[in-house]
Amino acid sequence: MNEIVHKTMGQQSGRRSWAEPWKIKMVEPLRTTSRAEREKALVDAGHNTFLLHSDDVYIDLLTDSGTSAMSDRQWAGMMLGDEAYAGSRNFYHLEQAIQKHYGYEYIVPTHQGRGAEHLISQTAIRKGQYVPGNMYFTTTRLHQELAGGIFVDVIIDEAHDPSNLHPFKGNVDLAKLEALIRQQGAANIAYVSLATTVNMAGGQPVSMANVKALRELCDRHKIRLLLDATRLVENAYFIQEREAGYAGKSIAEISREFCGHTDGAWSSAKKDSLVNIGGWLAVNDWTLFEELRNLVVVYEGLHTYGGLAGRDMEAMAIGIEESMQDQHVHSRIGQVRYLAELLQDWGIPMVLPVGGHAIFLDARACYPQVPQSAFPAQTLAAELYLDSGIRSMERGVVSAGRDPATGDHHYPKLELTRLTIPRRVYTQAHMDVIAESVKAVYDARGAARGLKMVYEPKYLRFFQARFEPL
């Protein structure tokens, strides 16, 4: 008799299994739909997954932003909201959490990351100045451009190659940065805009050695080094795993050391920090802080709430603490890796090494017959939704937008469909269902024809653009 011997996931990989460091106390039912319902929903949404109603979505991998499950402690913290207009105790708790874990002195809360990006861009950029960064992020670059800045990508070349296995593909190319400073003069550089991890490159990390070298370079030219710390904790995990001398250090220690090489940071707390809404700015320079604190009251709210309720700030303070725990980060990145390894074994092309928050499918490699002008990554996201109700998002030519000078599409080298894993939300069984759906869509890849854009908004077009099949 042919007897099947079942194996746990750990056993299949020849190791002991690991599990999430929490158990589930409350559940939210998921809705499944028929193929006919999904076809209608997709047409109604103009083939843009951002325009789907979430009730029509089965497993939602649109984003890891604001989609985390909060802990019982965070929910308890919500009940401790001090909803005073000024000087809420929750602000001081948040201030302490940021000072302790990120190490900056002066804190400004904002309603989310782009609120912080707006304030720092308006404050730290003079019209016509250059802003070098390790690949762009959509909202970050737009705020820099709206403030009159000229963004310049100075990430290492390896970041633009989806199959290059460089362990720190988020690193800044110091030679590219030096060349820009030489050409334009240090006075014409507003600041260096460093992101951890690099979302658009596939969630790729920056090494500690790179940020140290950047610090020295910036000091030499008297240029500020500002950090987008949105996924710093995930970046710290990769440093712990890959960089010599860091295996014995905790995520909290590595995060704090990394920030110590920078002059300030902003963050969308909707990612690492495990909240549904919130963001912040933090700097060490009092003069810069004074300007930020002054501007926040114009656009966000008083400097002790910045567009947030007291309860939101409390949940964020507790979330920051929880996000720094090694076991949490291990299980979060471990889940992303589990899904990635299945897909890799099945030959599905993706950005490698796999980053911390998502799997980025290489849509160009999936659909070589679809030219970039027919939006391969948008097409793949639409096909995945049709197959199973799983919602992913485009990170390719649609997200890249247009060149403000020429009006042409930016044609990024990376044409990716992002499967973003929310933190503490889905189980290993969900990962299996996702993997099988991606495989089914990949197996049918020959039939894809692409899309045409029939409506294009002026700003951040990927959110609201509409498409029709070719």
Ligand X SMILES: Cc1ncc(COP(=O)(O)O)c(C=O)c1O
Catalytic residues: 85, 137-138, 228, 271, 395, 462
- Give the Cα separation of 418 and 258 in Å (integer): 27
- Between 64 and 158, CB nearer to ligand X: 64
Buried b (16+ CB within 10 A) or exposed e, 67-98: bbbbbeebeebbeebbeeeeebebbebbbebb
CB 389 within 8 A of CB 137: no
CA distances to 108, 184, 277, 319, 399 from 190, rounded to whole Å, are 20, 11, 29, 32, 25
Binding ligand X (rule: CB under 6 A), the pick from 77, 81, 113, 132 is: 113
Residue whose Cβ sits closest to ligand X: 113
User: CB within 8 A of 28, min separation 6: which ones?
Assistant: none
Query: Would you count residue 268 as binding ligand X (CB under 6 A)?
Result: yes
The one segment of 107-115, 280-288, 298-306, 403-411 that binds ligand X by CB under 6 A: 107-115
State yes or no: cis peptide before 132, omega within 30 of 0.
no
Query: Would you count residue 228 as binding ligand X (CB under 6 A)?
Result: yes
Element (H, E) at 152: strand 150-153
Q: State the minimum distance, in angstroms, from the CB of residue 204 to ligand X.
A: 12
Query: Would you count residue 112 as binding ligand X (CB under 6 A)?
Result: yes
Interface pattern 15-54 for ligand X (x via CB under 6 A): ----------------------------------------
Q: State the minimum distance, in angstroms, from the CB of residue 230 to ligand X.
A: 4
CA angle at residue 196 from 255 to 438, to 5 degrees? 120
Q: Of 244, 248, 249, 157, whose CA–CA distance to 204 is shortest? A: 157
Q: State the minimum distance, in angstroms, from the CB of residue 353 to ligand X.
A: 18
* Residue 302 tokens, joined: 């008083």
Q: State the minimum distance, in angstroms, from the CB of residue 117 to ligand X.
A: 6
How many residues bind ligand X (CB under 6 A)? The answer is 14
- Between 228 and 243, CB nearer to ligand X: 228
The one segment of 108-116, 254-262, 314-322, 393-401 that binds ligand X by CB under 6 A: 108-116
Query: Would you count residue 199 as binding ligand X (CB under 6 A)?
Result: yes
Binding ligand X (rule: CB under 6 A), the pick from 49, 140, 144, 372 is: 140
Query: Would you count residue 65 as binding ligand X (CB under 6 A)?
Result: yes
Q: State the minimum distance, in angstroms, from the CB of residue 224 to ligand X.
A: 18
Query: Would you count residue 114 as binding ligand X (CB under 6 A)?
Result: yes
User: CB within 8 A of 216, min separation 6: which ones?
Assistant: none
Q: Determine the longest span between alpha carbons in the chain, in angstroms.
A: 78
8-state DSSP, 275: -
Residues forming the site for ligand X (CB under 6 A): 65, 112-114, 137, 139-140, 195, 199, 228, 230, 268, 270, 279
